[in-house]
Structure 1
Amino acid sequence: MTSPLSPALVRTAHVRLSDVHVAFGGRPVLAGVDLVAAAGDRVAVVGENGRGKTTLLRVLAGTQPVDRGEVRRAGTIGVADQQIPLGEQETVGDLIDLELAAVRNALACLEAATTALAEGQSGADDAFAAALSAAEALEAWDADRRVEVSLAALNAVDDRNRPLGTLSVGQRHRVRLACLLGAGHSVLLLDEPTNHLDASGLAHLTERLRAYPGVVVLVSHDRALLADIATSVLDLDPSSDGRPRGYGGGYAAYVEARQAERARWEALHAEQLAERQRLADDLSAAQNRLRDNWRPEKGHGRHTRATRAPGLVRAVHRRQEELSAHVVAVPPPPARFTMPELPQHQGTVALRASGVAVAGRLDHPVDLTLGGADRLVVTGRNGAGKSTLLAALAGALEPTSGTVTRARSVRIGWLGQESGLPARRTAAELLEQRFPGAVDLGLLSGYDRHRPIAELSTGARRRLDLALVLTARPQVLLLDEPTNHLSATLVDELTDALHSTPAAVVLATHDRQLLRDTASWPRLAL
């Protein structure tokens, strides 16, 4: 695909971070981040939830000041974060105008400069040349057409008079994304842009980003998108030296290098722990010898004790010094996700849907039967009713026609796309209240476990939702877009666990890599 954007954009696109540090409330969020990206670079920013990926995009956008370090950027910047900047009363047209503000301003300045030139005002020649250059850099005359193309490709609402309050969250994000793809910015900063896209929308986004001549900095859990477009990867997870690390060669090269580095890290940490344990054992043995030799067997006198004691004391001191001098310099690697042992429903049928439909949301009746360790992937474009079907199966939504039958003893775990967690409670409090004494699954950091849920990142709340579902040890898992907002590493670990769990699993997803990883599972296309 040929890019519609001007060569002037290519010349101006540039971002650079040097040793950037950001802390919130004294807690480091970004520490020692370096990044250089020029025109044509597509940088994937990865890391576990809470590592500062969204904060990094805000630093690049200029909305988050840094505590230390240098930030440089050149050219216009378009940002797709996880919050829509307008209220429910504003319209689709208002959102388009907001996202195309630079285009509108460039055309207005050119019109004013043209008028000044026609009137022969002093300095009008230079003002006109500057205004024309700015409009050309954005290809401002063609911006609305580019937006219309992307609105159609992303299956987004194109009625400019439609209030945003009548749109779903996904529809609003698709409108905003279409605007950014057409606005002609030098730099695109995208935070989880695939969360609300179906297969055709993902294909369009991939095509546009691969052809984008400016800088793209992308935060995404979508491993297929990262593999398709990333030219380099910035990993914000701490490495063995405690600093974020950049990797060239694209996403596949990053995965290979990161796995090798993780293996070395774990081996070095284990070696240092083993050496520390050896030194501790040597000290304990020396202390035991000292104690035993102060009480020699019968027949030995004071002289024997007196001659042995100094040497034994020196041996103990020497081993104490060796142990004190031994520092475990390699920090422990991050914890891995641990899937709980989910039980399998022993009956013939755990869950059955017969002619289930929901007016206006799931129009085509659905029949399905689940039992034992069955697997099912529900597919379909946005609006086809995938989330509605899972909510009906879980009992959270009553069908307008048809019936859902659940075995009397079956436990069903439903992970929806929207979180309704109590804002003021902490994750630890909520887990302890619902599941006293439950084991940690490795989904939440110690810091996130003790923060109010309202202060958690979107990804951390998603991890908590998943922890609550899994800790209930359901026999049937209903997972609606389970990879949304999760790190690529966690998604890989979760995917492996879903293959091996004895519980029945139903997935509704647009995640192309997850679809590939579950290619052998039965499909239900809506």
Structure 2
Amino acid sequence: MAVVGSAEEGKPDLSSNFGGGGEKILASQDGVVALQNVTVRTPDGRLILDQVSMEIKPGTKVGIIGPNGAGKSTLMRAIAGDVALQDGKVRIGDAVRLGYLKQEDPDWADPRQRVIDFIEQLTLEYLYAAESAFPGVKDMQPRAAAAHLLKTVNFAQERWRTPLELLSGGEARRLQLLRVLALGPNVLMLDEPTNDLDAVTVDSLERLLQPWKGTVILVSHDRSLLDGVANAMITFPREGGGPPRFWEGTYSELMEYEQRKAPKAPRGAAQGLGAAPAAPTKVLSKQERRQLEKQLRSTEADIEKVEGDLETAKAEMQEAGSDSGKVMELYDKIGKLEEEQAALYEKWETLSTELES
């Protein structure tokens, strides 16, 4: 078990904070990623991660969600050893091969290199290895393998001879993803991988990750990708809402749980991701309560309709195939429906909180 990040020497052993024999469990599980009481602050002293402890087991595909600025990307950087810790430790298994797709723009070794030459070089250096993420290319010639990989991420063929320095954000993102996967990781960390990607490429990424046998740690606002890939979730609450929580289940199951449990939550407890602040306590009249209940039922019906429309739109996008115009139209429609869905969930939680009083 390797320590990839730790606070200064002399800190007490924090392994017992995991419960159930912490350090012994970590040492016995090959490939695990674990954090022990990790604390990270910004240079000006703002607290980002506060005594965070969690364990991600081999083969788990974890989605990380929460408001902007909550610490999602900082958690990824802490795991990768890219940020200084004020307290705690980050440990990874000895067999871990970490692949990390960051949000930052790529730093090309040779910005004038052409796309097809860059991918062919990756093929020669990594993809013929025994642990390649693309075993299907091993029987291909390097040029053919490079072409196959570019088609895998829907990279337009007329742009294959473009210098790397002239790529758009979406094109660069595709190559970044291929470069990370080419390293043959068994723990894949993806920080907002769908930024600048079209719907067809996002769908290709989902199909690539679904059967993948390694561990995935995925930060994303793309609900469809989270539902299609993740089998566990880490949720960051709003500022002041406490530490991130680990949920075993899909994104949709988590949202359903939040929706079902919100009215029964103890007063003052965290209401989950996206919850509105609790309204001031007051005694509702019978008329006010009936009106709120009516609004709540109406909101539930609206949520059900939007979820149905989302399912229909996603099915239509699957059928659209290579019709790029239709795909982009449906992609925009899905985005708007997901925004409407999020607003309705927030409205539902606000109404539920008011009814608690």
- Give TM class, smaller chain: 0.5 to 0.7
Please name the residue that 1:67 is paired with. 86
Paired residue secondary structure (2:237): coil
Q: 1:19–1:70: 8 Å Cα contact kept in structure 2?
A: yes
Q: What is the letter of the counterpart of residue 54 of structure 2?
A: L
**What is the rounded CA distance, in whole Å, between the counterparts of 2:74 and 2:66 in structure 1?**
12
Residue identity opposite 1:48 in structure 2: P
Q: Report whether the alignment pairs 1:255 with 2:255.
A: yes
Alignment of 1:39 onto 2:58: yes
**Is the 2:120–2:145 Cα contact (8 Å) retained in structure 1?**
no
Q: 2:75 aligns with which of 56, 70, 76?
A: 56
Does 2:232 match 1:232? yes
The aligned counterpart of 2:194 is 194
- Whether the 8 Å CA contact 2:101–2:180 is kept in 1: the answer is yes
1:245-269 alpha-carbon deviations (Å, 9 max, x no partner): 111122222223333554444x513
- 1:45 deviates by 0.5
2:100 to 39, 59, 79: 79
Flag structure 2 segments of 5+ consecutive residues without an equivalent.
1-28, 278-312, 347-357
- Runs of 5+ unmatched residues, structure 1: 1-10, 108-134, 270-329, 338-376, 390-478, 498-526
Paired position in structure 1 for 2:23: none
Letter in 1 for 2:62: V
1:470-512: per-residue Cα shift (whole Å, max 9, x none)? xxxxxxxxx89967xxxx8x77334789xxxxxxxxxxxxxxx
Deviation digits for residues 217-236 of structure 1 (CA, Å, limit 9, x no counterpart):
00011111111111110011
Q: 1:223 to 1:81 in 2, by over 3 A?
A: same
Runs of 4 or more, structure 1, over 6 Å off, are 143-147, 331-335, 379-383, 479-483
**1:18 aligns to what SS in structure 2?**
strand
Alignment match, 2:111: 89
Distance in 2 between the 1:331 and 1:222 partners? 23
Q: Which residue of 1 aligns with 2:178?
A: 178
Change beyond 3 A, Cα 1:78–1:23? same
Any idea what SS the aligned residue of 1:268 has? Answer: coil
Give the aligned partner of residue 13 of structure 1: 31
SS at match of 2:209: helix
Q: Contact (CA 8 Å) 1:41, 1:214: kept in 2 or not?
A: yes
CA drift of 1:71 comes to 0.6
Q: CA deviation at 1:55?
A: 1.0
Q: CA deviation at 1:173?
A: 0.5
Q: Cα RMSD (Å) of the superposition?
A: 4.2
Greater Cα radius of gyration, structure 1 or 2? 1
Which position in structure 2 is the counterpart of 1:289? none
Q: What is the match of residue 151 of structure 2? A: 152
Aligned-pair distance for 1:140? 9.0
Q: Indicate the SS of the match to 1:255.
A: helix
1 CA distance for matches of 2:64 and 2:130?
30
Provide Cα deviations, 1:258-305, integer angstroms capped at 9, x if missing partner. Answer: 33554444x513xxxxxxxxxxxxxxxxxxxxxxxxxxxxxxxxxxxx
CA distance in 2, matches of 1:106, 1:205: 18
User: Is the CA contact (8 Å cut-off) linking 2:189 and 2:216 kept in structure 1?
Assistant: yes
Q: 1:263 to 1:95 in 2, by over 3 A?
A: farther
| Stretch deviating more after TM superposition (50-59 or 173-182) | 173-182
How far apart, in 2, do the equivalents of 1:491 and 1:69 lie? Answer: 40
Change (3 A) 1:254 1:482: closer
For 1:221, what is the secondary structure of its paired residue?
A: coil
Partner amino acid, structure 1, of 2:175: V
Instruction: Report the CA distance between 1:331 and its aligned residue.
Output: 7.3
* Cα 1:202/1:386, change in 2 over 3 Å: closer
Partner Cα distance (2:199, 2:335) in 1: 16
The 3 A distance-change label for structure 1 pair 147 and 12 is farther
- Alpha-carbon distance between aligned partners in 2 of 1:262 and 1:18, rounded to the nearest angstrom: 30
Q: Write the distance in 2 (CA, Å) between the matches of 1:21 and 1:261.
A: 30
Aligned partners of 1:147 and 1:182 also within 8 Å: no
Q: CA deviation at 1:207?
A: 1.5
> Paired residue for 1:419?
none
1:268 maps onto 2:267 in alignment: yes
Write the letter of the residue equivalent to 1:179.
R
Aligned residues of 1:80 and 1:177 also touching (Cα < 8 A): yes
Tell me the TM-score normalised to structure 2 length.
0.60
